[in-house]
Amino acid sequence: MMRLRRHSLALVVGLLSVAVVSCGDDGSSDANEGALAGNVVVSAASSLTDAFTELAETFEGIHEGVSIELNFGSSSSLASQIVEGAPAGVFASANQAQMQVVADAGLANDPRVFAQNRIVVVTPADNETVQTFADIAADGVRLVLAGAEVPVGDYARQAIAAADAAEPGFEEAALANLVSEEANVRAVLTKV
């Protein structure tokens, strides 16, 4: 995990540096030549809120002339905003499909994977019913997922469908427990 975080940090700092250099160049030359300055809008999947907030604070602390504006939301919403003209110096999507939407619109250069998602089951601290993934299909369980159009919601449904292949009826039973579909991963956590 720490290795992934260091690689992610290096990539994001690199992306921010490039974005800041490009927006902070007015063609003049002075004693601070080479110093980073400017404003960078970073649109990132809500699952990256904690990490990117920390990264932005650190980056701004190191580079006093830089202001990072963070915009978090579902990857599909952010991609739509960017395609419709919203400013974004950096776009960090939770899946490749939404990054491709932005790239296909000619608004992203050379997208790179810098982190990967993994499916987890989150329960309230006092939960005794759900101990394994298989338990989400048990009677009486209340399941909250992100919407199918949201990367984490799509991944969850893929995992449920894969489990159904091994145990027919699992998908139907699990989705029968679905009580809420949320706009992003943070909303799912809040609901739980």
Lowest mean pLDDT: which of 12-16, 127-131, 187-191? 12-16
Residue 126 lies in a domain: no
Structure confidence at residue 9 as a pLDDT band (50, 70, 90): very low
pLDDT tens sequence across 18-77: 444 444 444 444 545 567 889 999 999 998 999 999 999 999 999 999 999 999 999 999
Residue 111 confidence (pLDDT) above 60? yes
Q: How confident is the model at residue 84 (pLDDT cuts 50, 70, 90)?
A: very high
Is 13 found in the same domain as 98?
yes
Alpha-carbon gap, residue 49 to 94, rounded angstroms: 12
Give the pLDDT of residue 150: 86
Q: Is residue 122 part of a domain?
A: no
Q: What is the pTM of this model?
A: 0.65
Q: Are 88 and 9 in the same domain?
A: yes
pLDDT above 90 for 10:
no
Average pLDDT over residues 172-177: 98
Task: Flag whether 28 is in a domain.
Answer: no
Whether residues 158 and 100 fall in one domain:
no
Our count of domains for the chain comes to 2
Q: Indicate if 15 and 82 belong to the same structural domain.
A: yes
The string of pLDDT tens digits covering residues 120-150 is 899 999 999 999 999 999 999 999 999 998 8
Per the prediction, the chain carries an average pLDDT of 84
How high is the pLDDT of residue 21? 41
In a domain? residue 157: yes
Whether 15 is in a domain gets the answer yes
pLDDT of residue 34: 62
Q: Is the pLDDT of residue 96 over 50?
A: yes
Range of the domain at 154: 133-191
DSSP string over the chain: -HHHHHHHHHHHHHHHHHHHHHHH--S---TTTT--EEEEEEEEEGGGHHHHHHHHHHHHHH-TEEEEEEEEE-HHHHHHHHHTT---SEEE-SSHHHHHHHHHTT--SS--------------TT--S--SGGGGGSTT--EEEE-TTSHHHHHHHHHHHHHHHHSTTHHHHHHHTEEEEESSHHHHHHH-
Asked whether the predicted pLDDT for residue 112 surpasses 60, the reply is yes
User: Could you tell me if residue 187 is inside a domain?
Assistant: yes
Paired residues of 40 in beta bridges: 68
Residues 6 and 70 in one domain: yes
Asked whether residue 68 is domain-assigned, the answer is yes
Answer whether residue 128 is part of any domain: no
